[in-house]
Amino acid sequence: MLSSVILFSAPRVGAAGRTGNAATPTSHRAERTDSMGLTLGLTPEEMRTLARQFTTKAGEVRAIEASITNLLEGTSWTGRRASEFRSAWNGPFRRSLAQLAEELDKNAGYINDVTTSTESALN
């Protein structure tokens, strides 16, 4: 049995965190190539699996952030290194993890939208 393949590439993220246009389904596939010419060909099932994995990983990133925050709040670690680490943790480290989790969730939604659009176009 022949299954349809969706050609997919992640949206390009600009300096301000904005993404490019969403993929537009064609007659039998959604095709979008980023600025580097990268395109992935996946079946709809593989696309949905990828989206679920992104969502799972986003949750894992949030769990790591919460776990380390709880560790730092529950310890009496003091000194210059402790202060430096807490400062970095409560600043760029936590922001970076939050941004990573958000991007994973956003791209999971994007993948699901492209897959749904393509399946609708095929039916």
pLDDT per residue as tens digits for the range 37-63: 555 578 899 999 999 999 999 999 999
* Residues whose CB falls within 8 Å of the CB of residue 48, separated by 6 or more in sequence, listed in order: 111, 112, 115
In a domain, 34, yes or no: yes
Who has greater pLDDT, 104 or 17?
104
pTM: 0.68
Residue 19 within a domain:
yes
pLDDT at residue 120 in the model: 85
Residue 59 in any domain: the answer is yes
User: What DSSP line would sit under 47-105, residue for residue?
Assistant: HHHHHHHHHHHHHHHHHHHHHHHHHHHT----SHHHHHHHHHIIIIIHHHHHHHHHHHH
User: Considering the domain boundaries, does residue 1 fall inside one?
Assistant: no
CATH code at position 59: 1.10.287.1060
* Closest to 61 in 3D by CA, of 91, 93, 35: 93
